[in-house]
């Protein structure tokens, strides 16, 4: 045993001998208060209030390889331990040598590693709150004027009690000059049968494409941020037990403007009712915000990034969801604290946390 311990110690010393190698650690803590009032046509009233604590430890070896593990402990506030949830985290990351523009992660990967969160038509706030990990593969290329991401998220393995479910997503955006943007989102989503499925249970397909163009308009204004994106929304859903495709085509417009500590985000959808099978399967198949099931939907968020620095993002928001079926308002307080070994070494850089979730 002593010889084995010595050999393991020597091997570990060799692995982490590079100046860039060594022990890694991180702590990510998210607290969310989300009070939902108003119309119940698409989403129920209620208050979401929880804390999510996600520690990780790991090792960087041979300069470009990382292995990390930990958990996300999700604790609803005000209900004791009845609905406590633990989500395991364990993943390997390889980063392209030298340039460090390309990386691939495999395993149960924290969702906050995404360069850009999925749009709400594909991934609602509620899904973000309680599903902190990508369960599969994350491939990324991030440059100054371009980024691309491919995500394989295996949501459920087939068994006697649950159905196989996974989605593949692609996000891409490029900047031309200082003003012009072009990009898109795409999704292939699949919900299969459970083992020994009951009669009538069908395999389901869900596909989505959202090409867009955009403009960065803050130059020449006093605003700190001002972007506009306009694109098409093309959704194709099918329950194979029924056989017909349900298609939904529409227009998606996103506007974000911020001046100092006050900002506004506006998303407008106009077209055919998206998420056509959501009444049948709910979030088993469609993970997007159910308000998009309306033919016209306006999402307006008035927000304030009260504290925003390298380690802390504390924000408040008042959201309005407007459809022809009714109006609902969400009052939100969001706190994220994120500290890791690399960021701690570079704590004077002034880099900001981009994703509060």
- Number of other CB atoms surrounding residue 280 within 10 Å: 15
Position 17 scores a pLDDT of: 47
Position 9 scores a pLDDT of: 52
User: Which of 55, 67, 58, 62 is CA-nearest to residue 105?
Assistant: 67
- Neighbour-count burial for 202-224, b at 16+ CB within 10 Å, e otherwise: bebbbbbbbebebeeebeeeebe
Beta bridge partners of 27: 55, 339
User: What whole-number distance in Å separates Cα of residue 49 and Cα of residue 33?
Assistant: 4
Angle 265-187-133 from CA coordinates, rounded to 5°: 75
User: Which of 69, 72, 20 is CA-nearest to residue 51?
Assistant: 72
Domains in the chain, please, with CATH? 21-345 (2.40.160.10)
Contacts of 183 (CB under 8 A, 6+ apart): 171, 172, 173, 174, 211, 212, 214
pLDDT along the chain (357 residues), means of 10: 46 50 96 94 92 98 96 95 94 89 97 95 96 98 95 95 96 94 97 89 94 94 96 95 91 97 98 94 93 97 95 97 95 97 74 56
Position 345 scores a pLDDT of: 81
* HEC sequence for 15-82: HCCCCCCEEEEEEEEEEEEEEEEECCCCCCCEEEEEEEEEEEEEEEECCCEEEEEEEEEEEECCCCCC
Contacts of 291 (CB under 8 A, 6+ apart): 42, 43, 297, 299, 321, 323
* HEC sequence for 173-192: EEEECCCEEEEEEEEEEEEC
């Amino acid at each position: 045993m002593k010889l084995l311990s010595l050999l393991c110690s020597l091997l570990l010393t060799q692995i982490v001998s590079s100046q860039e190698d060594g022990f890694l650690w991180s702590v990510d803590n998210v607290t969310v208060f989300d009070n939902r009032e108003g119309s119940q046509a698409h989403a129920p009233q209620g208050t979401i209030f929880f804390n999510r604590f996600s520690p990780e430890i790991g090792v960087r070896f041979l300069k470009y390889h990382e292995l990390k593990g930990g958990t996300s402990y999700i604790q609803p506030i005000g209900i004791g331990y009845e609905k406590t949830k633990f989500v395991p985290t364990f993943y390997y990351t390889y980063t392209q040598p030298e340039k460090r523009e390309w990386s691939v992660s495999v395993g149960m990967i924290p969702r906050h590693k995404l360069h850009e969160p999925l749009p709400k038509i594909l991934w609602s706030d509620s899904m973000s709150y309680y599903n902190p990990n990508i369960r599969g593969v994350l491939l990324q290329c991030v440059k100054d004027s371009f980024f691309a991401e491919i995500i394989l998220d295996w949501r459920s393995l087939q068994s006697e009690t649950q159905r196989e479910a996974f989605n593949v997503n692609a996000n891409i955006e490029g900047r031309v000059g200082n003003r012009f943007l072009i990009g898109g989102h795409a999704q292939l989503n699949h919900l299969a049968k459970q083992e020994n499925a009951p009669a009538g249970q069908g395999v389901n397909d869900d596909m989505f494409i959202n090409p867009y163009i955009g403009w960065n308009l803050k130059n020449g204004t006093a605003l700190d941020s001002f972007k506009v994106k306009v694109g098409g929304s093309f959704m194709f859903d099918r329950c194979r037990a029924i056989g017909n495709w349900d298609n939904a085509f529409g227009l998606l417009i996103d506007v974000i403007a911020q001046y100092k500590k006050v900002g506004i985000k506006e998303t407008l959808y106009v077209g055919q009712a998206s998420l056509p099978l959501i009444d049948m399967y709910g979030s088993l198949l469609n993970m997007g915000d159910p308000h998009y099931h309306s033919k016209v939907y306006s999402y307006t968020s008035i927000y304030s990034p009260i504290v925003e620095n390298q380690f802390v993002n504390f924000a408040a928001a008042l959201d309005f969801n407007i459809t022809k079926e009714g109006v609902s308002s969400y009052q939100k307080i969001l706190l994220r604290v994120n500290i890791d070994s690399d960021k701690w070494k570079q704590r004077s850089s002034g880099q900001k946390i981009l994703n509060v979730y």
